[in-house]
A = this chain, B = another copy of it.
Amino acid sequence: MTERYLKDFQAGQTFGSGRIHIDADRIKSFAAEFDPQPFHLDERAATESILGGLAASGWHTAAITMRLLVDSDLKPAGGIVAAGFDELRWPRPVRPGDELRVESEVLEIRASKSRPDQGIIKVRATTLNQNNEAVQVSVGNLIVRGRPASSGETHG
């Protein structure tokens, strides 16, 4: 898959992804390092919690979503580099045994006024489980190159 420059994106474009399987051991080991709270670490404690059972840290879901996006056909030239997010939420817990995929949609394209060599695309990424229920919704602003690097270009 070729990299896409700013001109190659348009509002309404959508991209699918592969799938990643979630298992209880990685939910717990990710949480032990980054989000050590009972509902991410221990099945029994989790049943008593607001999440009603063992669930992945939202940051684990976000990281898995990034992996799915990097491997998808979105492929902005120069890589996926986010200026920031306007929205990030987890409408439903991610459970052991879930299989996640991402649907991304380009919402808006903006050329940069100060930097003609780059622009911003606004992308909504919806992470879905095997029942097509959204487990994460994000709206991010990605920095995209305007055109191929021109160091070897001749004008003539």
Contacts and interface: CB of A to CB of B under 8 A. Distances in A.
Interface of A: 30, 33-39, 49-51, 57-60, 62-64, 66-67, 70, 78-90, 143
A63 B59 CA distance: 6
* Most-contacted residue by chain B among A34, A60, A62, A89 (CB, 10 A): A34
Residues of A contacting B: mostly: mixed
A60 B66 CA distance: 11
Contacts of A70: 35-37
A84 B36 CA distance: 19
B90 A84 contact: yes
A107 to B, nearest CB: 17
Nearest to A51: B81
A59 B58 contact: no
Contact of A79 (B34, B38, B88): B38
A54 to B, nearest CB: 13
B84 A85 contact: no
13 contacts: A34-B63, A34-B66, A36-B70, A49-B78, A49-B79, A50-B81, A51-B81, A58-B82, A59-B62, A59-B63, A60-B63, A85-B85, A85-B89
A127 to B, nearest CB: 13
A85 to B, nearest CB: 4
